[in-house]
């Protein structure tokens, strides 16, 4: 077993982002079925704010990673390459999904707010650009959902193998060998 662990800030950022993304996915997939009104508007407002927070968090994670490289992979071969591609894909989509959502929101006539604070308008309202970025946002969400499933499947596999890979990212003494 490789005892090389991720740093505590890397672990906290990873699990914070995981919780935030799970919340965003749930909220995004349930808010569209709400009837028009105050509850739906509040859900959309919260979703937009959390999405912008997720974008900020991935920027912090990338900055942290730049100065603190990840521990080396325990295994090699095609699985290590798949893990690397999955991680790069996740990082890319963690930035692109909220960016597309923000752009879609920016092209509406409604102000974009971050937890109640109105953000400056950067573009003029446009129904066609709103539709394009909304479609892009939705498509990228399905892509990130697929990569999350692949990422979790890899974590479960490593947990079953008890090879130490999963334990390097778990906080505290949870599930350590």
Q: Where are the domains of the chain?
A: 8-169
pLDDT tens, the chain, 177 aa long? 445 889 999 999 999 999 999 999 999 999 999 999 999 999 999 999 999 999 999 999 999 999 999 888 877 889 889 999 999 999 999 999 999 999 999 999 999 999 999 999 999 999 999 999 999 999 999 999 999 999 999 999 999 998 888 889 988 765 444
44: part of which helix (H) or strand (E)?
A: helix 38-67
Q: Closest Cα to residue 136, out of 109, 97, 102?
A: 97
Token pair 């591609």 in the structure block, residue: 85
CATH 1.20.950 fits 8-169, yes or no: yes
Question: Whole-prediction pTM value?
Answer: 0.90
Tell me the β-bridge partners of 113. Answer: 118
């Amino acid at each position: 077993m490789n005892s090389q662990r991720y740093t505590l800030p890397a672990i906290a950022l990873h699990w914070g982002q995981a919780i935030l993304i799970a919340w965003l996915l749930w909220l995004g997939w349930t808010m569209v079925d709400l009837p028009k009104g105050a509850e739906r508007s509040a859900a959309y407002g919260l979703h937009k704010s959390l999405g912008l927070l997720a974008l900020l968090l991935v920027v912090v994670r990338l900055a942290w990673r730049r100065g603190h490289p990840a521990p080396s992979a325990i295994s090699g071969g095609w699985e290590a390459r798949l893990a690397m591609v999955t991680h790069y894909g996740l990082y890319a989509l963690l930035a692109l999904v909220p960016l597309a959502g923000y752009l879609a929101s920016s092209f509406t006539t409604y102000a974009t707010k971050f937890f109640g604070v109105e953000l400056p308008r950067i573009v003029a309202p446009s129904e066609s650009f709103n539709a394009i970025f909304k479609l892009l946002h939705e498509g990228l969400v399905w892509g990130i959902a697929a990569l999350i499933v692949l990422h979790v499947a890899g974590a479960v596999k490593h947990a079953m193998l008890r090879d130490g890979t999963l334990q390097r990212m778990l906080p505290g003494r949870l599930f350590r060998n």
